[in-house]
């Protein structure tokens, strides 16, 4: 009846309000996370498929919130909608570059560090200044820095983005298209973007063993990437079989739990030493 409906509606209102409140408090706490030292950068190794050599690592943000480690899935949206992602992203970038320099100094290993960049950061008028500042402050060689931009972001304003990527490339910085296969890039768009790398989304890798179609799609993406002159890396590789299939399909690099989950600084340092090249 009418009363039940009203009851349900107020219940719904309540839940909605709580969700909203929760989001606001996440944003509020996130605002102080940098100064409180609650943010950490984890690193996940990337290997060459042919030689198995360690080539670099992707920097992944973590937030130690009230002692609990929180993945960016839980707070990136709040960070983006409030614009907090701009200072957070700058912090990640500088921290990642700083670490890359430390690896080099302490182990003699020269690896690439890949950093995720959100749309909000990219369209910020000071983005390139931020990048220059990180380069200057840390002394990283621009060629050792790679920025990951998701395919869906790449379609919003192709002309502006093309210019921005060109600016990064002028500095020697590498650019990877993240989550490749989940957006709808046209071939002409892909051809016009001055990229270095395509990163095949995990969704295609998880079905590699069971689904013929996924195998075909991945093969197509690898061949397309190579035709455009890009390095192709697969993310979310979890099993030996997936790794084997990717090897047969001619994929260049891999990243995923099969090799290692994202690692905190100390564990990463140990991984680095264990995989050091002479």
Interface residue list for Ca ion (CB under 5 A): 116, 148, 178-179
Contacting ligand C2E (CB under 6 A), which of 72, 158, 207, 250? 72
Q: Does 33 bind ligand C2E (CB under 6 A)?
A: no
Smallest distance, Å, CB 29 to ligand C2E?
A: 17
Q: Which one-letter DSSP state was computed for residue 251?
A: -
Name the one range near ligand C2E by CB under 6 A: 110-118, 123-131, 135-143, 183-191: 110-118
Q: Does 116 bind ligand C2E (CB under 6 A)?
A: yes
Smallest distance, Å, CB 157 to ligand C2E?
A: 18
Closest Cα partner for 95 from 259, 236, 216, 264? 264
Q: Does 257 bind ligand C2E (CB under 6 A)?
A: yes
Considering only residues 130 to 169 of the shown chain, the ones binding ligand C2E according to CB under 6 A are: none
Bridge partners (DSSP) of residue 108 are none
Contacting ligand C2E (CB under 6 A), which of 45, 56, 89, 225? 89
* 152 versus 192: smaller Cβ distance to ligand C2E: 152
Contacting ligand C2E (CB under 6 A), which of 146, 151, 178, 252? 178
* 33 versus 116: smaller Cβ distance to ligand C2E: 116
Q: Which one-letter DSSP state was computed for residue 196?
A: S
Q: Does 25 bind ligand C2E (CB under 6 A)?
A: no
* 144 versus 201: smaller Cβ distance to ligand C2E: 201
- CB burial class (10 A; 0-12, 13-18, 19+) of residue 191? exposed
Contacts of 155 by beta carbon, 8 Å cutoff, 6+ apart: 183, 184, 185, 189
Residues making contact with ligand C2E (CB under 6 A)? 44, 60-61, 71-73, 76, 85, 89, 92, 116-118, 178-179, 202, 235-238, 256-257, 262
């Amino acid at each position: 009846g009418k009363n039940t409906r009203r009851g349900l509606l107020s219940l719904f209102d309540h839940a909605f309000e709580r969700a909203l409140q929760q989001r606001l408090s996440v944003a509020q706490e996130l605002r102080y996370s940098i100064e409180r030292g609650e943010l950490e950068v984890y690193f996940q190794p990337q290997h060459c498929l042919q030689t198995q050599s360690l080539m670099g690592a992707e920097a992944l943000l973590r937030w130690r919130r009230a002692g609990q480690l929180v993945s960016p899935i839980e707070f990136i949206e709040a960070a983006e909608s409030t614009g907090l992602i701009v200072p957070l992203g700058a912090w990640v970038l500088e921290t990642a570059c700083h670490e890359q320099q430390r690896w080099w100094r302490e182990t003699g290993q020269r690896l690439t560090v890949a950093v995720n960049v959100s749309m909000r950061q990219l369209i910020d008028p000071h983005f390139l200044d931020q990048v220059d500042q990180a380069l200057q402050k840390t002394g990283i060689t621009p060629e050792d820095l790679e920025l990951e931009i998701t395919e869906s972001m790449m379609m919003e304003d192709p002309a502006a983005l093309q210019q921005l990527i060109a600016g990064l490339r002028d500095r020697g910085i590498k650019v990877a298209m993240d989550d490749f296969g989940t957006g709808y890039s046209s071939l002409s768009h892909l051809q016009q973007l001055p990229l270095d790398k395509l990163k095949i989304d995990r969704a295609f890798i998880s079905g590699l063993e069971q689904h013929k179609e996924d195998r075909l799609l991945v093969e197509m993406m690898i061949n397309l990437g190579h035709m455009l002159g890009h390095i192709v890396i697969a993310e979310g590789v979890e099993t030996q079989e997936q790794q084997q299939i990717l090897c047969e399909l001619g994929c260049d690099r891999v990243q995923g739990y099969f090799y290692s989950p994202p690692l905190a600084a100390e564990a990463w340092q140990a991984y680095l030493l264990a995989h050091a090249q002479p």
